[in-house]
Amino acid sequence: MRHNLILPKLTFILLLACYGPAHAADEVLPGPVLARVVKVVDGDTVAVRARIWLGQDVETNVRILGIDTPETRGRCERERDLARQAKDFVTARLVVDDVITLNDVTHDKYGKRVVARVVTGGGEDIGAGLISAGLARAYGGATKTGWCPG
């Protein structure tokens, strides 16, 4: 089965994510990696549980690849309101215990989570959906643009 070849690599990536940024920054696990939703953290982060080996599950936070959403502790009420809407959008699509697919899994720059494209069981790309709804912007790692007027 194809997933058996992918899972040992996921174990390695997830362990590196837990122990800090000393890792190969360009390493990418193409996926698909199946995971269960544990909770929606905010508009661009989801906690998941992935089966990495028989009887072994790993929980980690996954930042949604390629997007920036407003922050719940934003500088203005507009940003905080958009942040709540983004979290609600994701929560409506990713119910706890739903199986999702992670693709293009890599390290985040801080080493505390992974970054991946998140796709629902029904095939919806969550990042693309957030952008279409105006609740996220495309993000490639450059300086972020603010969400507050002015």
| Residues 103, 83: Cα–Cα separation, whole Å | 24
pLDDT of residue 24: 57
pLDDT of residue 9: 45
CATH architecture of 2-138: Beta Barrel (2.40)
Position 85 confidence tier, pLDDT thresholds 50, 70, 90: very high
Cα–Cα distance list, 45 to 2, 63, 139 (Å)? 27, 4, 14
pLDDT reading at 127 higher than 80: yes
29-57 average pLDDT score: 92
Which pTM value belongs to this model? 0.79
Question: Using alpha carbons only, what angle is made at residue 147 by residues 138 and 62, rounded to the nearest 5 degrees?
Answer: 50
123-130 average pLDDT score: 97
